[in-house]
Amino acid sequence: MSRRAAQTGALNIGQGFPDYPIDPDLAACATRAMQEGRNQYAPMEGVMELREAIAAKLRDTQGVGVDPVNEITLTCGGTEALFSAIQAFVSSGENVVVFDPAYDAYEPAVRLAGGQCRRIPLAPPDFRIDWRRVAGTIDDRTRLVILNNPHNPACTIATREDLEQLAQLLRPRDCRVLADEVYEHVVFDGRQHVSVLAHPELRERSLAVFSFGKTLHVTGWRVGYCVASAALTHEFRKVHQFNTFSIVAPLQHGIAAYLQHRPSSWQDLSGFFQRKRDLLRNALQGTGFVLPAAQGTYFQLLDYSALSREADVDFADRLIRAAGLATIPLSPFYRDRPQLMLLRLCIAKQDATLLDAAERLQTFAVAA
């Protein structure tokens, strides 16, 4: 969809990347690191100052103690962390539980490891996990459960009760949790993100993945990290070492310096994105489009069922052609594509971009 947007000149509010500048102080920190000569290989595990900053952040946000030496590894974005974790813990003939709609990087990594995904669909409008179905899916060959929280693209938040249900199901099994928590700081309407790291039982069997790209609005920097117990981290690093080995050194030093000056830089993210969510939702009231309030992530779903009964892929295609607007249909995130009339919009955009998108949708709705 982004390629088609570029080819046609359509406004792209589909793919998840900001269109506004990053904090000049962050750019200055990275530039200064380069000028100071921090341009050679960083340690395989990551720059120690940055790992210590991550440990401090987890202590402040989740109330958990993490060893920066043995339990934190810097990665090439969250995606590399997911890939390396899957390669480390999944072997041929084993299976992985994935909840649909699912981020599209999960299944290719599982297949490359020789495993199979057992995909459990989440049904709109609530997209809640059916734990009875999960219990009937997990077996002795299940090595991972992938939990995306906050969830992209469903825009929902897992609760403490969800984590407790998962812990109970896994208690008798040799199975780990791969927690994709890259939107940890983007939760709305007073909700709180609860990490698997804060659950006493899940902590020891979980690998949690995070992303500075999401937290600092720098998706192109590709700096993420994986947090896990020392035993799991030892296995994780066996793959990471021969995958990307070392992450861009001046960016790590730059982020570490930035967090030293701005240790609470993430605290405003929920309010920042909630204002953008509400700006878009308010601008589309009364148009026929329905936008159920996203619980988290920097995405927002758009329900067009009052205007058309077309499948989401077809409707998204028509929006590009008729409205000059690129969005993402939801059904391709499922293995067995359901009949959905939902599109995913990215709200990590300038207010002017969101208002332009709303105007195009309003014009389209009138014509429809």
How close are the terminal C-alpha atoms of the chain, in Å?
22
Name the pLDDT band for 180 (thresholds 50, 70, 90).
very high
Contact 144, 175 (CB under 8 A): yes
Arithmetic mean of pLDDT, 23-46:
98
Cis peptide before 125 (omega within 30 of 0): yes
Question: Quick one: 50 exposed, middle or buried, by C-beta within 10 A (0-12, 13-18, 19+)?
Answer: buried
Is the bond preceding 150 in cis, omega lying within 30 degrees of 0? yes
Residues 51-89 have pLDDT tens digits of: 999 999 999 999 999 999 999 999 999 999 999 999 999
Q: What is the pLDDT of residues 290-334, one digit of tens each?
A: 999 999 999 999 999 999 999 999 999 999 999 999 999 999 999
3 state DSSP class of 225: strand
- How do residues 270-288 score in pLDDT, each as one tens digit? 999 999 999 999 999 999 9
Confidence of residue 33 (pLDDT cuts 50, 70, 90): very high
Tell me, what DSSP letter sits at residue 368? -
How far is Cα 101 from Cα 116, in angstroms, rounded to an integer? 17
Q: How far apart are CA 104 and CA 118, in angstroms?
A: 14
Q: Which domains does the chain have, with CATH numbers?
A: 2-21+267-367 (3.90.1150.10), 24-261 (3.40.640.10)
Mean pLDDT of the chain: 97
pLDDT of residue 2: 87
Paired tokens of 121: 């669909």
Grade residue 21 by pLDDT with cuts at 50, 70 and 90: very high
- Residues 368 and 359: their CA atoms lie apart, in Å, by 14
* Burial readout 7-37 (b: 16 or more C-beta within 10 A, e: otherwise): eeebbbbbbbbbeeeeeeebeebbeebeeee
3-class secondary-structure state, position 34 = helix
Give residue 31's pLDDT.
Answer: 98
Q: Report pLDDT for 263.
A: 87
Question: What DSSP designation does 125 have?
Answer: T
| CA proximity to 163, closest of 149, 152, 173 | 149
> Quick check: 325 and 361 in contact, CB under 8 A?
yes
What confidence score (pLDDT) does residue 107 get? 97
DSSP state of 72: E
Residue 34 tokens read as: 């380069």
At 125-178, the pLDDT tens digits run 999 999 999 999 999 999 999 999 999 999 999 999 999 999 999 999 999 999
State how far Cα 4 lies from the chain centre: 23
